[in-house]
Amino acid sequence: MSTVPAYKPSAQGPLEETLPQLKVVSAETIKSSVHSPSENIEILRESLRSISDSLESASPQEVIAWGWENYGDSLTMGTAFGPEGMVIIHMLSEVAPHVHVFNLETGYQFQETLDLRERVRERYGIDVELKRPELTVQQYEAKHGGPLYKTNPHQCCADRKLAVLERGIEGKSAWISAIRRDQSPDRAQAPIVGWDKKFSLVKINPLANWSKQDVWKMITDHDIPYNPLHDQGYTSIGCWPCTRSVLMGEDERAGRWSGTEKTECGLHSLDPGDES
């Protein structure tokens, strides 16, 4: 188990004084780069690589603070209210409570997941915005002659998650994700900060080098709210039709799209050109 770095503001002064080299890529630079010739993107990637290396030993709170200082209102966070997301929301309340947070409300989420949104509001005063697809579940299933998650889960995720995310991040330059490197092979190379080619955003992964134990220790130590389904064997929770509880010894994401080849909804899978 790795050591959980406790957050304490640097004794040497604000982050911009202690890590001045990190204030390299401004929101304006990102905005001008994403639609610019590819060499600009390469310069951006190079900057992010060096920033990520510098942040490798920073605490997640320092990483979040760096994101807020650099991107402010152009920073957003997507969450499915998993344990890692709840830990980051807790940290946001400490160091950057005004960061915009959203949830992709596919219409297929567990009620227990939606209830967490209210608990977040009560505990932290953070109002997580629900981003919904254009069609309700009823309209969507009527259009496709039944639930698409049974016959084409890739398309279902594309329509009810990816397309919604693309609308949700309009005007944003950077987003925070709660992925950990040890969750899956797809996530193993995630940097602390990198270029997300798929969505043309800087992607900030404050918990990239944390373990599952680190996350649960923080939840326990700080009495952070979490989805009660975790106590019933659901280690990773997405939409109810595509999630099952896991058996002892199974991988923590084994209950997602169980029995199919699918392992990711597409939000966090690496594409060529993503930073790794």
Q: Which residues are designated catalytic?
A: 265
Cβ atoms < 10 Å from Cβ of 7: 14
Are the CB atoms for 99 and 125 separated by under 8 Å? no
Smallest gap from Cβ 152 to ligand SF4, in A, equals 8
CB neighbour list of residue 23: distance below 8 Å, 6 or more residues apart = 16, 69, 70
Q: Which residues fall within 8 angstroms of residue 28, CB to CB, at 6 or more apart?
A: none
The residue with its CB nearest to ligand SF4 is: 239
Taking the complex as a whole, how short is the minimal distance between the CB of residue 104 and ligand SF4, in angstroms?
A: 8
**Residue whose CB is less far from ligand SF4, 57 or 136:** 136
- Which three-class secondary structure state does DSSP give residue 203? strand
Smallest separation (angstroms) from ligand SF4 to the CB of 184: 15
Radius of gyration over every alpha carbon of the chain, rounded to an integer in angstroms: 18
Contact residues for ligand SF4 (CB under 6 A)?
106, 108, 149, 153, 156-157, 160-161, 238-239, 241-242, 265
Which of 24, 158 has the CB closer to ligand SF4? 158
Nearer to ligand SF4 by Cβ, of 65 and 156: the residue is: 156
Please state, in angstroms and rounded to a whole number, the distance separating the CA atoms of residues 141 and 71. Answer: 39
Of 248, 242, 272, 259, give the one whose Cα is nearest residue 80: 242
Q: Which is nearer to ligand SF4, 165 or 219 (CB)?
A: 165
Q: How far is the CB of 159 from ligand SF4 (least distance, A)?
A: 7
